[in-house]
Structure 1
Amino acid sequence: MRSDGSLTIASLAAEAGVSRASAYRCPHVLAEFRNHVADREEAAAPAASLRQEVQALKAAERRLRQEHAREVRELRSSINVLAQQVQLLTLENQRLSQTAARSDRVTHIDRR
């Protein structure tokens, strides 16, 4: 390779082993070169756009995973609180049932 690899007329001439002046004497070659450079730039534009879209989607996925993890933690905490409340209510219900069973205020009616 004789040039720096950039897509310029000077690099094209260096790669061809001719002077820039000689390269400019062949307008049809320069036109074809420019068309190839334009095609390459057009092809690169969607790839860059897709890379940006992929990055944005990955960032959105990270945010959603973090939000999901936070919601799971909150729900687990709520489950623990509710389980404790159910346990307290069960104990209170048992206590009230025992108190009612021992109460002398309840009158039993004979079924005759």
Structure 2
Amino acid sequence: MVEEQRQRVEQEMTKMINELDVDYLRKMQAAMHKCAAACCENNSASLESVQKCVESCSVKLTWAQGYVQRELEQLQNKLQRCVMDCNDEVRVKMGPNPTHSEVNLLTGLIYIK
């Protein structure tokens, strides 16, 4: 049961990340490349000017990717703390010598919540 829950959470996280990528990040990446291409097409600009232009094109995407990464890390930390809290709760309820049926009952109840 625990493994099924872990897989379900992992699948939902992957789905969410893919949706963020398709709906937002890819569009930002395409815009960044179009912007950079426009910078490179400016034949009257200096090398330094073109490099600064290209760098400025990537600022929004870099920020967005960092933001998503930080949010995912925070979510992962919260999930880990939740799992630890649930495990602690089960250990307290089981006592020092739980029977096999008590272990099954308590672990099933905790993960159903």
TM-score (norm 2): 0.40
Higher alpha-carbon Rg: 1
Higher relative contact order, structure no. (Cα contacts within 8 Å, ≥ 6 residues apart): 2
